[in-house]
Amino acid sequence: MPLKRRDLLQAAAALSLPGATWAAAPARRELTLAAFRQRLRAAGPPTEVWGFNRSLPGPLLRYAQGAAVNVKVTNLLRQATTVHWHGLRVPNAMDGVPIVTQPPIESCATFDYAFTAHDSGTYWYHPHQSSFEQVPRGLYGAFIVDEQRPLEVDRELVWVLSDIKLDEQNAQVEDYGRVQDFGNRGRHGNVLLINGRPVSQPLELRPNERVRLRLINAASARIFRLGFAGHAPWVIAHDGQGVPPHPIPDDGLLFLAPGQRTDLVLDGTAGRGSFAITDRRDGVTEMARIRYAGAPVRTRALPAPSALAANRHTEPNLDKATQHFLVFEGGEAGAPAIAAVDGQAR
């Protein structure tokens, strides 16, 4: 059946990110952490979640490579928090690790983060304070740094994959931090989400259209194994770093661990029909469905995508490094003392 314009608009809205504007980022952004309600199931009441700027996931933060990042964070939660910029090279004081790199942001307090977006790629942000609870409650968002020479695609999508654990009344199950979860496979939710919305949403493609699909696994423990029926996406980046473009290896299922990001190039080569994108980690769950509509973008499919430019990293000078060996007086619980430096006893 041909799709109507209304269907296309609804699908685009379902798969878009809150605040997903790609204009130049303002000189200063503000993130406010607070509790609010969002509908996570088609039936029943909305769920109380925690989020940035009253959205789950939080607003997309997007910068040009080399841009200055200034974010004022205000905490309106009932417990302390921080913001960690996952995968980004930042000064130690900006890394968002409570007690280690900064004091926790107490309730009703603020903290200013400032750093340079050195590396292009797909990243995300989330708390490192009680992250076993705060991340599953909804505190996470996408952070994109654009390449100086963007990849040539017709369109781009950012998918933040996550799960959430709800009871029959759509309330979050309050069982965070259980010892058995730490010792087994971790805490898994029973509702899967893409960009804060229930899975099995349509992904509209035009014949021979090329789409860059940025995938972020924001689940605290769930591993995804994604299959793309009828299509063979190109893998172009892992964890913000470009790789030589190649098809998904082995069994054709994309492995996406918690915190991992993978960038794909998806070509609309099938031309017509309907194809499922599934998670096959535990059984088969339909995550989205590719549907073709509209006139072809071009007469024939594009060749393999170009490789992304590598981020420049400064290699450490090990010639100037020193080795320190520690011993603990009174066993492992005792205070450490330096036993040797560069092989010489102290």
Q: How confident is the model at residue 317 (pLDDT cuts 50, 70, 90)?
A: confident
User: In this structure, are 327 and 196 located in the same domain?
Assistant: no
The answer to whether residue 306 is domain-embedded is no
* pLDDT at residue 79 in the model: 95
Q: Decide if pLDDT at 92 tops 60.
A: yes
* pLDDT at residue 184 in the model: 73
Tell me what percent of the chain is helix, strand and coil, each rounded to the nearest 5. Answer: 5, 40, 50
Question: Nearest Cα to 138, choosing from 176, 97, 100?
Answer: 176
Mean pLDDT of 261-282: 94
pLDDT digit string, tens, across residues 194-206: 999 999 889 999 9
Number of Cα atoms under 13 Å in the Cβ half of residue 214? 29
Compute the distance between CA of residue 286 and CA of residue 68 in angstroms, rounded to an integer: 39
Contacts of 258 (CB under 8 A, 6+ apart): 186, 217, 218, 219, 220, 221, 222, 223
The answer to whether residue 141 is domain-embedded is yes
Q: How confident is the model at residue 81 (pLDDT cuts 50, 70, 90)?
A: very high
290 in Cβ contact with 275 (< 8 Å):
yes
* pLDDT at residue 276 in the model: 97
User: In this structure, are 261 and 325 located in the same domain?
Assistant: no
Q: Is 224 exposed, middle or buried (0-12, 13-18, 19+ CB in 10 A)?
A: buried
User: In this structure, are 324 and 270 located in the same domain?
Assistant: no
* pLDDT at residue 293 in the model: 93
Q: Decide if pLDDT at 260 tops 90.
A: yes
User: In this structure, are 126 and 177 located in the same domain?
Assistant: yes
pLDDT digit string, tens, across residues 142-186: 999 999 998 999 999 999 999 999 999 999 999 887 777 667 778
The answer to whether residue 18 is domain-embedded is yes
The answer to whether residue 74 is domain-embedded is yes
How many domains would you assign to the chain?
A: 2
Sheet strands side by side (includes 141-146): 58-64, 141-146, 121-126, 84-86
If residue 201 lies in a helix (H) or strand (E), which one and from where to where? strand 201-205
User: In this structure, are 268 and 330 located in the same domain?
Assistant: no
The answer to whether residue 304 is domain-embedded is no
* pLDDT at residue 6 in the model: 42
* pLDDT at residue 271 in the model: 86
- Mean pLDDT over all residues of the chain? 88
pLDDT digit string, tens, across residues 8-67: 444 444 455 544 444 455 678 999 999 999 999 989 999 999 999 999 999 999 999 999
The answer to whether residue 243 is domain-embedded is yes
* CATH number for the domain harbouring residue 284: 2.60.40.420
Q: Decide if pLDDT at 135 tops 80.
A: yes
User: In this structure, are 58 and 205 located in the same domain?
Assistant: yes
Final residue belonging to a domain, choices 292, 310, 327: 292
Q: Specify the residue for token string 């940025």.
A: 214
User: In this structure, are 113 and 216 located in the same domain?
Assistant: yes
The answer to whether residue 301 is domain-embedded is no
Contacts of 196 (CB under 8 A, 6+ apart): 18, 38, 40, 55, 56, 57, 138, 160, 162
Residue 144 sits at φ, ψ, to 5 deg, of -115, 135
User: In this structure, are 325 and 274 located in the same domain?
Assistant: no
pLDDT digit string, tens, across residues 232-249: 999 999 999 999 999 998
The answer to whether residue 305 is domain-embedded is no
Final residue belonging to a domain, choices 257, 277, 292: 292
5-14, 256-265, 319-328, 330-339: least confidently modelled range: 5-14
Q: Give the domain extent around 345.
A: 318-346
Continuous H helices in 61-167: 131-134
User: In this structure, are 160 and 24 located in the same domain?
Assistant: yes
User: In this structure, are 196 and 327 located in the same domain?
Assistant: no
Q: Decide if pLDDT at 116 tops 80.
A: yes
User: In this structure, are 9 and 91 located in the same domain?
Assistant: yes
- The pTM for the full model equals 0.85
User: In this structure, are 277 and 339 located in the same domain?
Assistant: no
Enumerate the β-bridge partners of residue 256: 224
Q: Which phi-psi region, left, alpha or beta, contains residue 79 (left: φ > 0; alpha: ψ -120 to 50)?
A: beta
Q: Is residue 131 helix, strand or coil? A: helix
Compute the distance between CA of residue 49 and CA of residue 31 in angstroms, rounded to an integer: 16
Mean pLDDT of 325-345: 59
Q: Which two tokens stand for residue 66?
A: 């080399």
Compute the distance between CA of residue 112 and CA of residue 124 in angstroms, rounded to an integer: 18
